[in-house]
Amino acid sequence: MFVDELEIHVAAGKGGSGIICFLRDAKTLRGGPNGGDGGDGGDIVLLPTTHCNTLFNLTGRGTFAAPNGGQGLPQNCGGKDAEDMVIEVPVGTQVLDASRGNLLQDLDTADRPWVLARGGHGGRGNTHFATSTRRTPRIAEPGKLGEERRVLLSLKLIADVGLLGLPNAGKSTLLATLTKARPKIAGYPFTTLEPILGIAQGPGEGTFVIADIPGLIEGASQGKGLGDKFLKHVERTRLLLHLVDCGDLPLAEPAEAWQVVRRELAEHSQALAERPTMVVATKIEDQAGKARAQALATAIGHPVLAISSATGAGLRDLTLAVWSMLSQLPPPFRG
């Protein structure tokens, strides 16, 4: 299930209490204070990961509570510091204050943890309260409470490349061909109802991330309002691949199909309309297909790369072109 908005409540751990204790052994009848400090409570840590791309795993969980610190121990031994609670979220998750709506943090870098709520410090044991006049302090501190927060997690996927195009253009098939992602593919429109990310191999060691996003048109024509809902997931891509079906039986005449998507894009977001874009003619398997791709390029006045995910034709050139384009573009979008 794809979930990209979720409110969560978190409670970091309480610090352990310090204790009141005095040295007592065979040789000492009334020794000095030696009550140890409490351990610190666990933090709540958010860890952005590329292993998932939905907040679904975090739904229906109530409060996320980190464990409390251990109580202090005799002989000046500190209580145990509690383990942090680490919550994995997809890269691109933004953290907003649930009531005020302001952005607290953008978790846009994989594997860079961020502390959402700090655990309370442990209280001090009675050792700390001894003075020259107070040799047997019967005071120790309780641990401090951990921070509690209510936040809204809002996912805005981050990818190098976003796929655009009318339903049936071959977006999901291309993603499945270039990456290990396995989106749903079918010979009818509206199959992709949630964004899917895949990691493609560049020409050398490098990799780039491709996002297959339910199209504007797909959602709009279903009357489900999916168009706008998913658009935020193309916002943070560096390059768009606009796929146009130039096969035998396209749903729309290629130049017309291209125009429809351009128009929708411009209507929804000027920033996206201006994003660097490569036009890709799909399903090119014979001379007639090549001619249709050529005609498209002429009609729209923009270069067109011809590919077939079925035969693999043009895929290497496409990867090289994408790679070279990405190397000239600024690093992943932030904000």
Ligand X SMILES: Nc1nc2c(ncn2[C@@H]2O[C@H](COP(=O)(O)OP(=O)(O)O)[C@@H](O)[C@H]2O)c(=O)[nH]1
Residues forming the site for Mg ion (CB under 5 A): 171-172, 191-192
Under rule CB under 6 A, residue 173 binds ligand X: yes
The whole-angstrom separation of Cα 6 and Cα 153 is 5
156 vs 171, which CB is nearer to ligand X? 171
56 vs 190, which CB is nearer to Mg ion? 190
176 contacts 195 by C-beta, under 8 angstroms = no
Under rule CB under 6 A, residue 179 binds ligand X: no
144 contacts 121 by C-beta, under 8 angstroms = yes
71 vs 192, which CB is nearer to ligand X? 192
82 vs 246, which CB is nearer to ligand X? 246
Under rule CB under 6 A, residue 156 binds ligand X: no
263 vs 334, which CB is nearer to ligand X? 263
172 contacts 179 by C-beta, under 8 angstroms = no
- Stretch of residues binding ligand X (CB under 6 A), selected from 2-10, 85-93, 122-130, 303-311: 303-311
Under rule CB under 6 A, residue 71 binds ligand X: no
Residues 312-331 that bind ligand X (CB under 6 A): none
Side-chain-facing half-sphere of 267: CA atoms under 13 Å: 11
**Phi, psi angles (nearest 5°) of residue 196:** -130, 135
Could you say which of 187, 204, 225, 301 contacts ligand X (CB under 6 A)? 187
3-state class (DSSP) for residue 159? strand
44 contacts 64 by C-beta, under 8 angstroms = yes
Token pair recorded at residue 270: 């000027």
Under rule CB under 6 A, residue 247 binds ligand X: yes
- Stretch of residues binding ligand X (CB under 6 A), selected from 75-83, 89-97, 187-195, 269-277: 187-195
Could you say which of 19, 73, 95, 169 contacts ligand X (CB under 6 A)? 169
Q: Cα 96 vs. chain centroid, distance in angstroms?
A: 14
54 contacts 26 by C-beta, under 8 angstroms = no
118 vs 171, which CB is nearer to ligand X? 171
Q: Which does 204 bind (CB under 5 to 8 A by kind): Mg ion, ligand X, none?
A: none
Token pair recorded at residue 290: 């090549």
Could you say which of 94, 192, 237, 277 contacts ligand X (CB under 6 A)? 192
Under rule CB under 6 A, residue 185 binds ligand X: yes
The whole-angstrom separation of Cα 122 and Cα 205 is 48
The whole-angstrom separation of Cα 194 and Cα 177 is 18
126 vs 308, which CB is nearer to Mg ion? 308
Token pair recorded at residue 305: 């790369």
Q: Least distance to ligand X from the beta carbon of 307, Å?
A: 7
How would you class 57 by CB atoms within 10 Å of its CB: exposed for 0-12, middle for 13-18, buried for 19 or more? Answer: middle
Name all contacts of 270-273 with Cβ < 8 Å and 24+ positions apart. Answer: 271/235, 272/231, 272/234, 272/235, 272/240
Could you say which of 39, 170, 195, 314 contacts ligand X (CB under 6 A)? 170
Q: Which does 15 bind (CB under 5 to 8 A by kind): ligand X, Mg ion, none?
A: none
Under rule CB under 6 A, residue 171 binds ligand X: yes
Q: Which does 54 bind (CB under 5 to 8 A by kind): ligand X, Mg ion, none?
A: none
Tell me the residue type at 291: A
148 contacts 66 by C-beta, under 8 angstroms = no
Under rule CB under 6 A, residue 165 binds ligand X: yes
Q: Least distance to Mg ion from the beta carbon of 230, Å?
A: 12
Binding site for ligand X (CB under 6 A): 165, 167-173, 185-187, 191-192, 247, 282-283, 285, 308-310
